[in-house]
Structures are given as structure tokens and as C-alpha cells.
Chain A
Amino acid sequence: MSVVEKSKPRSFQEIILRLQAYWAAKGCAVVQPYDMEVGAGTFHPATTLRSLGSNPWAAAYVQPSRRPTDGRYGENPNRLQHYYQYQVLIKPSPPDLQELYLGSLEAIGVDMDLHDIRFVEDDWESPTLGAWGLGWEVWCDGMEVSQFTYFQQVGGHDCKPVSGELTYGLERLAMYILGVDHVMDMPYNDPDALIPLSYGDVFKQTEQEYSRWNFDIADTDMLLKHFEDAEAECQRILDAPADDPKTGRRIIMAHPAYDQCIKASHLFNLLDARGVISVTERQAYIGRVRALAKACADAFVQTEAGGAAA
């Protein structure tokens, strides 16, 4: 732990950079955010798909995440419809994952001698991904700073070996470390930079714009149509024969199909934010997305990356 920099970080981005450096030093591939709208870092194929099959894996990344129903027009001190998650996935889960995790908190300036860190039961289940795992929410002085999960099943498949997943809610964690009460006041870059920018400078306006669009403007008929299109395309991709006549290769298109699944999932979230999905319909929609996720998982485990013999 002596290599860890003990000084306090000064900005949101410094916390991200320190996490990147820490997990890179621990041997993770620092992959980049997925270029699609997702509700959480778990949806990144580097987690969902790579937690399947027997191949070892270690990846860390930032993932912009969108939860339309959490929009508060940038007014709420800590609720955002667009925020960042930091995600680590290691397969098989190493025996010292808890210690590795605590080391990462220290790396971003949490003084282990002054704070109260607790692992509080929180079983994770994603009905849309057909996935579940056991673990905790990690509390720092009563605040949830991370989710810690041992994946047991993803897309209906048993995880063998088991992946350990860490998810940090970056804004909340950073606000705590930087001692900021309102997310919009948080320094985004260094406060002494030539052009110091706050989180609000970067995101306040977008929170307002998206909150209005999510809640009142989004065209629900169009979103519904898009949902159905994504669903159909996902199926069509998976229905295509594995043997590609053009290259003569066997190419199962698990990732392009999974992109459509991600799309359907996000469209469902948007429809939900518009309040047009009833309680009973909700279950049906979740079931439809789950069916796609399962089909994608089934396809992925047929591929080399998914552990099938080449």
C-alpha cells in the first residue's frame, strides 16, 4: 500500500484517473466506455458477455450511464439522469478482492483510519439481463459508495468460474471525498487550472434538457416502434446462420445482437420515464428484454471469447 499516493485528490477527473491507474497496476485491461446508451456499467459487453464462459478476464472502465427516471433538472444535490459508473470485472474472482477494493478506496484518498467501511448485504439481480449474484453494497460512513457482487448467473447461464464485479458510483463517491454538498458544485478539473470547470459547468444544462425530454417530450409512439425494431433486429441477427458465405468463416454475431438488446433495454427505460408503462406491462417488457439478453448469452458462449473451443 505504500506506493499509493496518500494525498487527497482535487477534482472529479483526478479520482477517475487514480482509479484507472490503480486497477491498471493491479493487472486489469483498462477498456473504454461502451459507445451506447446503457443504464449501468454492467451492460457493457466487457462485463455482461465476458462474465460468461471459462476464459479468464480482468477489465476496468468508466461507463456513462443513463437512468431517465432519476432526472431532477440538475436541481437535486445528488440525483442525475446521466452519471458515471466505474466498473471492474475480474474472472475468476481473486481471493483478496475485498482487500484490492479497499486499496482502491485508499488510492482515491479515503483514509482507512478515520472512516467506517462496511459490507452490507445487497444481492444483485438484473431481471432484464437474466442475471443475479450475491454481495454487498459497500458503505463509507453510512454512504453507499460501491456495489460488490459475485456473479452467479448471467443471461440464464451459470457463471463458471465466478466473476467478481465492483461498481463505483463516481459522482457520489467523488462528492464525498472532495467534501462537496451539491454535485453541480464539484470541481470537474483541477480548481487551479487555467479554466477551472465545475460538474455543473459541464452537465447542468444537459441535465435540464434531458429531464425535460425524458419526462415530457420524448415521442412515446416512436420509442415503442424503436423498441420493437431493436427486438426484431436482435432476433434476426441471431437467426442468421453461423457460417458466413462471403468469408467462408464461422462468425456468430453475438455482439451486434447484444447491441440491439442494450438498445431495447434503454428504450424501455425511456418509456418508463414517460410513465406510459403500467405495472403489468412492465413485467412483460422486462421479460422481452430478458429473452434477448438470454439469446445473446446463448450465442456468445458458442464463440471463442465465450469459451467455446476454437
Chain B
Amino acid sequence: MADLLLELFSEEIPARMQKRASEDLKKLVTDGLVEAGLTYESAGAFVTPRRLALSVVGLTDRSPDLREERKGPRVDAPEKAIEGFCRGAGVSRDQLDVRDEKKGQVYFALIEKPGRAAADIIAEVVPNVVRNFPWPKSMRWGSGQLRWVRPLHSILCILHDAEGAEVVPFDVDGIAAGNTTRGHRFHAPDVIKVNSFDDYAGKLAAAHVVLDSASRADTIWNDATNGAFAQGLDVVEDKGLLAEVSGLVEWPVVLMGDIAEDFLGLPPEVLQTSMKEHQKFFSVRNPKTDRIEKFVTVANRETADNGVTILAGNQKVLFARLSDAKFFWENDLRIAETGGLQWVEKLQNVTFHNKLGSQADRIERIAALAREIAPVVGADADEAEEAARFAKADLSSEMVYEFPELQGLMGRYYAAAAGKPDAVAAAAQEHYSPLGPSDDVPSAPVSVAVALADKIDTLTGFWAIDEKPTGSKDPFALRRAALGVIRLVLENGVRVNASDWFSKGYKGVDVADLLSFFHDRLKVYLRDQGISHDVIDACLAMPNNDDFTLLVKRAEALQGFVKSEDGTNLLQGYKRANNILSQAEAKDGVEYSYGADVKYADSDEERALFAALDTTEGAITPAMEAEDFGAAMTAMASLRGPIDGFFEAVQVNADSEVVRRNRLNLLSRIRTVMGQVADFSKIEG
């Protein structure tokens, strides 16, 4: 048994690719070793900006010998068949055995595959992994053909045990495996010779390289939060940034600096975005003022002046960056304070889509639609229109040009600066929501109106020009927009026939087709809420299926009902009745839908069903008018006993044609009465 240590030493690996690369290295190498017949106890992968490393502990010395006996053709088989068999088995003709079998003499080959030394297997597996490594993006360099994420400089590959360490000899595109690496680029650039994993990790630590990315992240987070705590401040948590920053350094040194007084008046989101996006700084908040007042940067080294020069440099860069941000903010505020009209005018020159006109055209449509929607969602129509007209203004602002991710948020600040009502300012930010399935849905009426108008304009527009999503392609995010409309309607309990809105959107839209797209999205949405597709279909078949709130209310009640014992049994009875009825209708060529008369009933069970249907109908009709699906379901449940009893005691196909037709008409009443609630014929089971 021995341990394997592998290190691939390269120029700086992009931070975002590091974690995945270390996992891939571990999986690909260990899979390759196991496939070749070796086993191991454990394996661990490590990554820094300049190296991918793998330690495999307790690797077997050899793969096992393999013996396989293979039966071949008969000795009198054609020559070609025998030759083929030898080739396939990898043996020569004189190595074949001849044995007597029932059908005559048959050739046998004994294939022996001797086990191979671990080093030989590694020397085969590792170059393969290197050549075919699944980097998201890889490159060539110099005159070579090898691809790696950035130029690969050296490969360390040793097998080591108590006796010592040996280099596994192989070569990838001119890079020979060895037993050396290098330390930190600036602190310890010289060659380091290693003879085991412990030796490797220890010497790297001494050479200013922390091999484990998790401990680099811990150091950064602890040092940053401790430093902030000491001054009564909090570091704004950002896991993504922490992971990225720990992928940028081999020797993290945390430094905290000040944000110049000039910039503390900028919106905190602007400070945070600018520092994170441009500088990869953490924001440090003062809980007393709730302002972001300092930053944390992470250097990759120690210096004789304890980072004073580095911090001063970073501070200077930040000053320049924030000067830019402040320049944008002040220019934008100047325009906002005059009402922001010139932004909206500028949008006339910005094409939204060449068939759907400019952003300004779009704003006109959204404003008109927001007015229509406003009363339905409880918003003031004038306010909704005003909000719609301002909602996209920030797209022309300098800040949003620089930081597109601040769109909406800046709109809110600028609307406030323009003296717009709070509801209008909130809508500027919130009308983009919800963006994803877990994103919060706005509830302020004006925001809801503009958010709906925005999405419906997009959907009807792209529908009208026939740019619908196909398969996995949805370049205009129309599925997301439709789900957004659905969630806005449902979570705010909006009651409306959505088709009315669609027909007031972009001209020339096929409303029925768009509605069926919505129904598809709704099915996906409801399936996630545990409502099965047949229940949804049973509700979609009912009138007013473009009233999504009503639709979902019905579906939820029905889902509960069909799962109950009464529901399951009633459904059986319904199906039986419906089957008999459908067959008879097909055979007789008539529809039995009217005139069942209790006077032709000749048993108690039949009369009981008549009575039960009268009672149930009397209860369901008002319940449906009140949209009380619970009461309707309860009333329906009382049909279960009488229906079961009817089928046990009564033969529908009576000798008397009058009696038969009366019973078929009776069954039709079951269909009609239950059909007021949902189309039960769609329900499976």
C-alpha cells in the first residue's frame, strides 16, 4: 500500500472554476484507478489559484491478476473463425486447448492478464485526465497542443510509503512528472522538493501557501469579522464573494480601510455594488448609523510595512471608482429633480425589439394597460399610469448604464428625488418582480398594476410577432413573465378574466393561444404545489378558466376531495355511471339528458338516488354561486352511498325500454350535478 500525491501547477486558475475543478480531479483520477483494478482508502482534493492537488491514501500496489477461460469454435470450424477467435482472445494458435464437448472437439483459450503495478496505472490514468479535463473554458499556449485552463507548468506525481517516495514517470505534452513544486509567487518562488502529502502541505504552509480553500475562507471571514467587531462594525455577509476571494489568494491577509466621507451619502446599494463588482471588497456596516462606512480587502501577501502601501493603493482605487459613481449619481439626481422627462424622451431612441418598437413606445402601452388593470387590483388609475411612465426612466440613467443590476432600485431613488408619490417610487423598483419562482411578489396595488402591465405587454407583444418560446429556447424569458403574472394574480387574490387583459395588450395577439400557454405554466406551478395534472385538467375544462384565482381555488378543493375516501369511491360511481351512459348514447345515437322521472323507479335504492340528487343539487347550486367549493364537495360526498346502493340493486338495462331510458336519464343527472363542480371525466383512477 502506498499514497499518491498529484499536483498540477499552472498559471492563475479563475476563482469561479476552482471548486468544481478539484472535485472533477478527484473523481476522474480515482475512477480511473478503480476501473483499472486498484482500490484506495480515501482521497482528498485541494485547490489554490495556482495548483490543483490530489491526495489518494492507501492505494493498493498492484491490480489483481485476471484469469479468464474462453470457449471458442469447434476444431473443424473454418480457418477464419479460428483466427478471429485467437485475435479476440489475444493468444496464438498453439496456446489453444482442445477439449471434448458433446458436439465434438472445441478450442479453449486461457486468457491471463497479469496485474499491473500502481505506478503503471497512474502513469496511464493521469495523462488521460489532464488531456481530457472538463474545464468550462480551456486554452492552448505557446506552440503546444495541450489544453488547460491557463498554461500548465509542472506536474508533481509521487507514490510514497514508509520506505520513501518515488516519482511516477510519465509525460504530458512535454511536461514530465516530477517531485517538485513552488511556493507563493512572491514569498517563496523557488523549487520545493516533496516526499509525501504531509511534507507537501507542511512545506507549502512554510512557503506561504494555504492549500485548503475552506481554511483560507475561514481565515478571511474570521479576520474580517474580528477586525470589524473590534470597531463596533459588521461585515456584510456575502458567501459568493467570500468563495471568490479565497480563490484569488494563496496567503490571505485581511486589510480594512475607510470610505472617504464624500461618498457616505451615496445609496448603500451603490457603494456595495461598486465595491463588490469592481474591487471584490466586502462592505462593512456601522449598525449605529446603518451606513456602509468601511471596506475589507484581502491581499495575497504580507509586506514589511504591514500592508500600509497595499491598503493605500486600494483606497485610492476605491476613491476613483466611487468618484465615478458619485458623478453618475449627481448627474442623475439633477435630471431626476426636473422630473426625469429627458430620460423618457431618450428611450425613444432605444429599440426594445425591432418589431415591437422603442422602449418609449413600450412605456406608452404599459401606461395604458396599467390604467386598465389598476381598478381590478385596487390601485388608483392615475397613479398607476404615472408609475408606469416613470418605471423604465432609470434605464437612461448613468448609474444603471454602469451597473445594470441596479435597475429598478435606482428608479426608486430617482422617483423619490423627482417628488413622485411613494407608491410610484416603489413601483419603479418592484415592477420587475417576481423574477424567479422564489422571488417575493409585490403587494402594493400600484406596483402590482405596473408589474402586471409590464409582463402582459411583453407576452402579448412577442405572441403577436410570433416569437414564442420553443423547447429549451426562451430568449425573451416569456415563461418567467407568464409565471410572474400567475403569481402576481394568485398571491394578491386578484379576480379577473385574464383574457380581457390579453386582448387589451399588444394588438393582434391570439388570446386563446396565449391563454393555453398560461395554462401550461399554471400546470407546472400547481404540480409543484402537489396538485396532480388530471385534477388541473378537470378544472381547466370548466368555464372562466382564465380566472386563475378561481381556477386554483377549485383545483385545491378538488385535489383534497379526490384524495378522500368519499371522493375516491364517488369517483368510481361517477365513472361507472358515465361509462354506461356513454355506451348507451353511442349505441342509441341520442343524448340522455332530460326527464328522469321518479314515478318509473321500482326500488328503494333507485328512489333514494333520485332523492339524493335533488338534495345535492339544491346544496351545490348556491355553493357554486358563492364559490364555496368546500361546501359543494361536501354536498357531493353525500351522493356516494346512494350511487353505490343504486348500482348494487338496480340493473340499468331493464326489459322495459321506458324504464331503461328513465334510468339512463337518471345517470345523466349524476353527470350534470357533479359537472357543476368540475369535469370529473378528466380525473384518472
- Our pick among B12, B318, B349 for the contact of A119 (Cβ within 8 Å) is B12
A116 to chain B, nearest CB (A): 4
Least distance between B304 CB and chain A CB atoms (Å): 7
Q: Mark B279-308, 1 if CB is under 8 A from A, else 0.
A: 111000000000000000101110111000
Surface stretch bound by A, among B97-105, B133-141, B507-515, B597-605? B133-141
- A98, A113, A141, A159: most-surrounded residue (chain B CB, <10 A): A141
B142 engages A114 (CB within 8 Å): no
Q: Which of B281, B304, B317 contacts A141 (CB 8 A)?
A: B317
Q: Assess whether B16 is in contact with A133, with CB atoms less than 8 Å apart.
A: no
Q: Is the CB of B142 within 8 A of A113?
A: no
Q: Are B351 and A176 in contact, with the CB atoms below 8 A? A: no
For A119, what are the chain B residues with a Cβ–Cβ distance below 8 Å? Answer: 11-12, 49
**Is residue B153 contacting chain A, with contact meaning CB distance below 8 A?**
yes
Segment touching B, from A74-82, A198-206, A241-249: A74-82
Q: Which single member of A120, A121, A141 contacts B309 (CB below 8 Å)?
A: A141
Interface assignment of A35: CB less than 8 Å from any CB of chain B: no
List the B side residues contacting A162 at CB < 8 Å: 139-143
B141/A150 in contact, CB under 8 A: yes
Partner of A76, one of B142, B151, B279, B327: B327
Instruction: Evaluate whether A77 and B139 lie within 8 angstroms (CB atoms) in the complex, with A114-B305, A142-B297, A280-B354 already known.
Output: no
Q: How far is the CA of A115 from the CA of B312 in the complex (A)?
A: 10
* Min CB gap A73→B, angstroms: 11
A contact residues around B248 at 8 Å (CB):
118, 120
**What is the bound-complex CA distance between A181 and B317, given in angstroms?**
10
Query: Which residue in chain B gives the minimum CB-CB distance to A152?
Result: B139
| Pairwise interchain contact B300-A116, C-beta atoms closer than 8 A | yes
Query: Across the interface, do A281 and B351 meet the contact criterion of CB distance under 8 Å?
Result: yes
Q: How far is the CA of A117 from the CA of B313 in the complex (A)?
A: 11
Are B16 and A143 closer than 8 Å at their CB atoms? Answer: no
A227 to chain B: closest CB distance in Å? 18
Asked if A121 contacts B350 (CB within 8 A), the reply is no
Report how far A159 CA is from B139 CA in the complex, Å.
Answer: 11
A100 interface residue, CB < 8 Å from B? no
B303 engages A279 (CB within 8 Å) = no
How far is it, in angstroms, between the C-alpha of A77 and the C-alpha of B262 when the chains are bound? 15
Contact B141 A181 (CB under 8 A): no
Decide if B62 is an interface residue (CB 8 Å cutoff). no
Looking across the interface, which residue of chain A has its beta carbon closest to that of B255? A116
CA distance A143 to B143 in the complex (A): 32
Q: How far is the CA of A118 from the CA of B15 in the complex (A)?
A: 12
Nearest-neighbor residue (CB-CB) of B353 within chain A: A280
State whether A279 touches B137 (Cβ < 8 A).
Answer: no
State the Cβ distance, A216 to closest chain B Cβ, in Å.
14
The prevalent SS among residues of A at the interface is: loop
156-209 of chain A: CB within 8 A of chain B: 159-162, 164, 176, 181
A143 and B14 contact, CB distance less than 8 A: no
Quick check: B317 and A94 within 8 Å, CB to CB?
no
Q: Which residue of A lies closest to B187 (CB)?
A: A113
The yes or no answer to B594 lying at the interface (CB within 8 A) is no
In the bound assembly, the distance between CA atoms of A117 and B186 in angstroms comes to: 9
A93 part of interface (Cβ distance < 8 Å): yes
What chain B residues lie within 8 Å of A142 (beta carbons)? 279, 281, 297, 310, 313-314, 317-318
Rounded to whole angstroms, the CA-CA distance of A140 and B317 in the bound complex is 10
- Return A262 CB to nearest CB of chain B, in Å: 26
A307 at the interface (CB under 8 A from B): no
Q: Does residue B316 face the partner (Cβ distance < 8 Å to A)?
A: yes
Q: Does B192 contact A (CB under 8 A)?
A: no
User: A140 near B313 (CB under 8 angstroms)?
Assistant: yes
| A76-B327, A114-B305, A118-B300 given; A176·B316 CB < 8 A | yes
User: Which listed residue, B16, B142, B297, touches A95 by the CB 8 Å rule?
Assistant: B142
- For A172, the closest partner residue in chain B by CB is B320
Q: Does A134 interact with chain B (Cβ within 8 Å)?
A: yes
Whether, in the assembled complex, B479 has its beta carbon less than 8 Å from a beta carbon of chain A, the answer is no
Is the pair B351, A136 in contact by a Cβ cutoff of 8 Å? no
CA distance A77 to B11 in the complex (A): 33
Q: Is B521 an interface residue (CB 8 A)?
A: no
B320 CB contact (under 8 Å) in A78, A121, A164, A278: A78
One digit per residue, 1 when the CB lies within 8 angstroms of any chain A CB and 0 when it does not, for chain B 317-329 equals 1111001100100
Q: How close is B73's CB to chain A, nearest CB, in angstroms? A: 51
What chain B residues lie within 8 Å of A76 (beta carbons)? 323-324, 327
* A69 to B: closest C-beta gap in Å: 10
Given contacts A76-B323, A98-B11, contact A115 B313 (CB under 8 A): yes
Q: Does A272 have its Cβ within 8 Å of any Cβ on chain B?
A: no
Please, how many angstroms separate the alpha-carbon atoms of A181 and B142 in the complex? 39
A112–B309 alpha-carbon span in the complex (Å): 11
Q: For B142, what are the chain A residues with a Cβ–Cβ distance below 8 Å?
A: 92-95, 161-162
Contact yes or no, A278 B309, CB < 8 A: no
Chain B residue nearest to A69 (CB atoms) is B401
Give the chain A neighbours of B299 by CB distance below 8 A.
Answer: 116, 141
Q: Does A276 contact B (CB under 8 A)?
A: yes
Q: Are B316 and A115 in contact (CB under 8 A)?
A: no
The reply to whether the CB of A298 lies closer than 8 angstroms to some CB of chain B is no
- B682 at the A interface (CB under 8 A): no
Which of chain A's residues have a CB closer than 8 A to the CB of B279? 142
Residue of A nearest to B350 (CB): A278
> Which A residues are in CB contact (< 8 Å) with B346?
275
B132-163 to A contact mask, C-beta < 8 Å, 1/0: 00000111111100000111010000000000
A123 within 8 A of B: yes
Residue numbers of A with Cβ under 8 A of B are 72, 76-79, 92-95, 98, 112-121, 123, 133-136, 140-143, 150, 152, 159-162, 164, 176, 181, 275-276, 278-281
Q: List 5 A-B contacts (CB under 8 A).
A: A114-B309, A114-B310, A120-B248, A143-B317, A150-B140
Beyond the given A112-B186, A115-B310, A176-B313, please list 10 additional residue pairs across the A-B interface where CB-CB is below 8 A.
A76-B327, A78-B320, A92-B141, A116-B301, A134-B149, A135-B150, A141-B313, A142-B279, A176-B316, A276-B349
